[in-house]
Amino acid sequence: MADSRRNVTGHEGCSCARNHPREKNGGERETPLVENLTRKSQLQELELERTTKQLKEAIAIAGEETVKCKAAKEVIKSLTAQVKLSEYIGKKYVIPFFSPMHFTFVCPTEITALSDRYEEFQ
């Protein structure tokens, strides 16, 4: 029984058949190495397309977030008032209040303590 592997010279069962060309559609010959490289190239192209699509989506999302961030900064800027102590001279009493650790557990404690003593400042 002859091995189905066959090279260009017609060696039956040749162990080197993996390096010999095979016919592909249209009668052309292609080696397994070329087939393997072609397959790898196609897979890499698919991966590149997928990655490119993901990159475009990420760039679009980043652009949207940038716009949101800029809008948020503008809102914060419009809500922030610049206070000059000189504007209050002779008009009202001013008590400077400093909160050394904003957005920590210390901050609400100090604000609550000041609020609790508000009547004393009236």
Contact criterion met (CB below 8 Å) for 32 and 24: no
Gyration radius from the chain CA atoms: 38
Q: Is 14 a catalytic residue?
A: no
Which one of the listed residues 14, 16, 69, 107 is annotated catalytic?
107
Query: Residue 57: phi, psi to the nearest 5?
Result: -65, -40
Residue at token pair 């009668």: 27
| Lookup result for tokens 């809102």 | 75
Amino acid at 99: S
Catalytic residues: 107
